[in-house]
Amino acid sequence: MGPKGIVGLAGTLIVVLLVLSSVYIIPETHRGVLLRFGELIETDIKAGIHFKVPVVDQVRRFDVRVLTNDLPSKQYLTIEKKPLDVDSYIAWRISDVDEFYRATGGDELRAQSLLSSRVDNGLRDEFGVRTMHEVVSGQRDELMHILRDRVNETSIAEFGIEVLDIRVKAIEFPGQVSDNVYRRMATEREKLAQEFRSRGREAAEGIRADADRQRTVILAEAFAKAEELRGEGDGEAASIYADAYSSNEDFYSFYRSLEAYQKTFSNQQDLMVIDADSEFLRFLKDPLGAN
């Protein structure tokens, strides 16, 4: 290849490089700004292919999708002067590229720092006018909505940033306070348990006393009923004996005498001194019981 060919090729390469350096692409998820010698000449450049002056112009691209950042854990005081450790996060996106670049220089870390400062001040103010119960459960959603609207209003005007959401991930007591709270809760629960035990013992004593009373009443009624039945039985037995005696007096006298002899002479070691003419021995002397 001759000198002219080399010069032509070099010229072609230079032209291609100039063309390529004159073209830039903004992705669909981004917006751009164009700087000339560091001075902002065009903002909010939409997605697509664009042209610029090579070497002189510089393009900055910014992600306009929703971004989420965890904020550092901070401690805030409630209206009762109770400290709480709060972990939170913020969801935001760039709404005005021009304002965003002018306020932050296009630095996302700078934007995060500015938003973190606004949220920190907002949380401090909101916690300071609420009780612990309200910030933990009672008015937590309301607090987040108020804080989001307040921070969003200032961030749009000052930074070109739209705050979509601010959420508290966790609210905890500081270490020493947590220990004191847990000890107090344990003491209260133990006190409540003791109260329940005392009530249980009192109820148990009442139940036992009532059971003993009912047992005494039942036994007394049973004894009275038994004595009544025994009396009725004895009366009926006496009536039967009387009927039997009246139906055959001689046999009945003989039978009763045999029973008496059996009981009297059951123990061979006993010694009895009885008159031979005693009525008791009449059936021993004469089976017919004749006198």
139 pLDDT tier (thresholds 50, 70, 90): confident
pLDDT mean across residues, the chain: 82
Percent of the chain with pLDDT over 70: 77
Take residue 247 and report the two structure tokens written for it. 């139906």
Q: Residues 71-81: pLDDT tens digits? A: 888 889 889 88
Q: Three-state SS across the chain?
A: CCHHHHHHHHHHHHHHHHHHHHEEEECCCEEEEEEECCEEEEEEECCEEEECCCCCEEEEEEECCCEEEEEEEEEEECCCCCEEEEEEEEEEEECCHHHHHHHHCCCHHHHHHHHHHHHHHHHHHHHHCCCHHHHHHHCHHHHHHHHHHHHHHHHHHHHCEEEEEEEEEEEECCHHHHHHHHHHHHHHHHHHHHHHHHHHHHHHHHHHHHHHHHHHHHHHHHHHHHHHHHHHHHHHHHHHHHHHHHHCHHHHHHHHHHHHHHHHCCCCCCCCCCCCCCHHHHHHHCCCCCC
Contact 106, 100 (CB under 8 A): yes
How far apart, in Å, are the Cα atoms of 98 and each of 28, 31, 34, 71? 18, 10, 10, 25
* CA–centroid distance for 198 within its chain: 26
Structural fold of domain 67-172? Tetrahydropterin Synthase; Chain A (3.30.479)
Instruction: Provide the residue ranges of all domains of the chain, joining segments of one domain with +.
Output: 3-62, 67-172, 248-285
pLDDT at site 89 = 92
How far apart, in Å, are the Cα atoms of 57 and each of 38, 42, 51, 62? 8, 11, 10, 17
Q: Residue 157 pLDDT > 70, yes or no?
A: yes
125: Cα within 13 Å, side-chain hemisphere: 12
Q: Residues 215-273: pLDDT tens digits? A: 999 999 999 899 889 888 888 888 887 777 777 666 777 677 767 766 766 666 666 66
Q: Residues 45-84: pLDDT tens digits? A: 898 988 888 888 889 999 999 999 998 888 898 898 888 8
pLDDT at site 172 = 83
Take residue 239 and report the two structure tokens written for it. 């009536």
Q: Residue 10 pLDDT > 80, yes or no?
A: no
Contact 244, 252 (CB under 8 A): yes
pLDDT at site 176 = 61
The CA-to-CA distance between both ends of the chain, in Å, stands at 181
Q: Residue 189 pLDDT > 80, yes or no?
A: yes
pLDDT at site 91 = 94
Neighbours of 230 (CB within 10 A): 10
pLDDT at site 52 = 87
